[in-house]
Amino acid sequence: MIDFMEANLVRRMSWAFCAAVSCCLLYSAYGQVKEDGFPNDSRPGVEETMALLHKLVAEELGSDGGFLGKTRFTIDLKANTYMYDMSPQPIGLVLSNSDPLSIPLEAMLRTEALRRDLQKSLPAESFWVVSLANVQSSVRKCVESLVQLKDNLAIQANENDCSEKIGEQIKQLDQSIDAFARDRKLTSIQPVRERSPATGYKVRVSIEPPRARIRYMTLLEYKKCIYTKNSLANQWNDMLEGDMNLIGRYHYLAEWPSELNGPEEGNFEIRQPGTMTFHPGVK
Amino acid sequence: MATTQLREFGEVLADFRQLSSLALKGIFIVPMVTIWLNVAPPPVSVTSVTTSTLELLAAIWVFQFWYQTSKSTLERRMKIAILCFSLGLISYLGLSQSFVVSPGSGQERVIKGYQVRPDVEPLLNPSYKTEDALKDNEYDPQKVWTEHSISTVKDTLLLLWIVTFISLSISFTIFIVLQKRRPSSLPKSI
């Protein structure tokens, strides 16, 4: 009797397992179709895709100067140093990992950030223009090939090819920047790491009244910008209300409306966890 | 390990009555205790576990390869090990005073470098020192000193720490081996 019940239970569990696996497979397939987002005959063309990617890049560079739009090139003629960083970002931060366009988009984010920095740092030089255009051209070719392909397997194979070709062009760009630095006898400095080794203290930030945009940067970064007369624009990070991990001394800019005394700048120091409230006129 | 050495080593580890056996086990545990004391070179937990393992290996080494060595040679090696321990400890404490900074309570200590980055150097003056620059950059040493100089200091501190504890383990294990060789004054049980 017990054996029969057990056998019945096992059979039912097997059926339930098969049904669950089938559901998962169907859901996954449906998810892929949804993720793709385009019926086979209504996929956007190359120009539309490029326009979409350019729009995404412009949005990301405009809004995220600290991570996706981080500084890729700086030059300090007084100290005779330069910083160049074309290290890739993780793909899938803007589009999903499975989206074939995430590879060209990541390359576009890097090249556009570099172009922005080179235009600012070396506007009179032309050595980088061709190399950068070659990278952009390889990105465009990649997008063209990906847009035209409809078979998923072919797209996957093409993704690797795309990465390799873009990587080759970026290598040539690296070489042209190295040659420029050698020619000018510039010393390379390491790009700063994104994450501080000190985890920092949890600080609850509040802005009262919440009508100001508060931006901040480390005090050393501020001092460096002032000394080198570089623009502060790319160094600011937005401070949002809520919990943040901070440690050490910072410089801030609070943009209060004119009726609340207008913009205000200053320094603050974090030595322990706590609460920090920004008020107009008084911190 | 030969049977005699293995037995002797096992006996020392299993003995919880003899002071010397307890002390040897204590030496293996000391680096782990430094996790709470936060005195080992950062990253503290990795350093402490590695040091304990190397200490155990050093003790095994002494039992395996030096067990049959003559008394005079062992005594000479013990003196060298004690000297290495003393010098290593003094050097480590001196270096860590100069190159290790604590950002505050509950924060991992950071190791400084000795060569300031060229983009930070012009900002420094008698009233604005490297420590201030470190504080003004979220205690990230890589934004103040060159990577090469930080790595050199980090490696030196780690090497000194490990050498110090291995020397301690070696000197104590030799001491136990020499003590075990002494003829017992107690009558053997029948």
**What span, in angstroms and rounded, lies between the C-alpha atoms of A68 and A92?**
12
User: Residue B122: which of A79, A190, A221 has the nearest Cβ?
Assistant: A79
pLDDT for A138 equals: 86
- Region of poorest pLDDT, from B100-109, B111-120, B122-131: B100-109
pLDDT for A23 equals: 59
3-state secondary structure chain B: CCHHHHHHHHHHHHCCCCHHHHHHHHHHHHHHHHHHHCCCCCCHHHHHHHHHHHHHHHHHHHHHHCCCCCHHHHHHHHHHHHHHHHHHHHHHHHHHHHHEECCCCCCCCEECCCCECCCCHHHCECCECHHHHHHCCCCCHHHCECHHHHHHHHHHHHHHHHHHHHHHHHHHHHHHHHHHHCCCCCCCCC
- The model's pTM is 0.55
Q: What angle do CA A127, A131, A135 make, to 5 degrees?
A: 155
Query: Cα dist. A99→A36, A45, A103, A143, A166 in Å?
Result: 7, 16, 8, 12, 17
User: Residue B139: which of A81, A187, A198 has the nearest Cβ?
Assistant: A198
Does residue B171 surpass a pLDDT of 50? yes
Average pLDDT for chain B: 84
* Greatest mean pLDDT among A64-78, A192-206, A251-265: A251-265
**Would you call B143 an interface residue with chain A, using a CB distance cutoff of 8 Å?**
yes
pLDDT in tens, B56-109: 889 888 888 888 889 899 999 999 999 999 999 999 999 999 999 988 888 888
Overall average pLDDT of the A175-190 stretch: 83
Q: Do B136 and A248 touch (CB under 8 A)?
A: yes
* Greatest mean pLDDT among A91-100, B10-19, B41-50: B41-50
Strand bridging mode B100-101 / B110-111: antiparallel
**What span, in angstroms and rounded, lies between the C-alpha atoms of A185 and A182?**
5
Minimal CA–CA distance to A52: which of A39, A72, A38?
Answer: A38
Chain B hits for A70, Cβ within 8 Å = none
Chain A hits for B140, Cβ within 8 Å = 192-193, 196-198
* Greatest mean pLDDT among A61-70, A187-196, A209-218: A209-218
ipTM: 0.72
- State phi, psi for A278 to the nearest 5 degrees: -95, 125
Chain B hits for A192, Cβ within 8 Å = 140, 142-143
Chain A residue whose CA is closest to B42: A197
Q: What angle do CA A185, A231, A208 make, to 5 degrees?
A: 145
pLDDT for A219 equals: 93
Does residue A162 surpass a pLDDT of 50? yes
pLDDT in tens, A3-56: 555 556 656 666 766 666 665 555 554 444 444 444 444 567 778 888 888 888
Instruction: Indicate the domain borders of chain B.
Output: 3-181
Chain A residue whose CA is closest to B117: A189
- State phi, psi for A136 to the nearest 5 degrees: -65, -35
CB B1 within 8 Å of CB B10: no
pLDDT for B172 equals: 87
- State phi, psi for A12 to the nearest 5 degrees: -65, -40
Residue with tokens 């409809």: A150
pLDDT for B132 equals: 93
Does residue A171 surpass a pLDDT of 70? yes
Instruction: Indicate the domain borders of chain A.
Output: 45-188, 201-278
CB A51 within 8 Å of CB A96: no
pLDDT for A75 equals: 84
Residue with tokens 């005394």: A261
pLDDT for A248 equals: 92
Q: If you count residue pairs, one on A and one on B, with CB atoms under 8 Å apart, how many are there?
A: 85
Chain B residue whose CA is closest to A219: B136
Confidence of residue B162 (pLDDT cuts 50, 70, 90): very high
pLDDT for A68 equals: 74
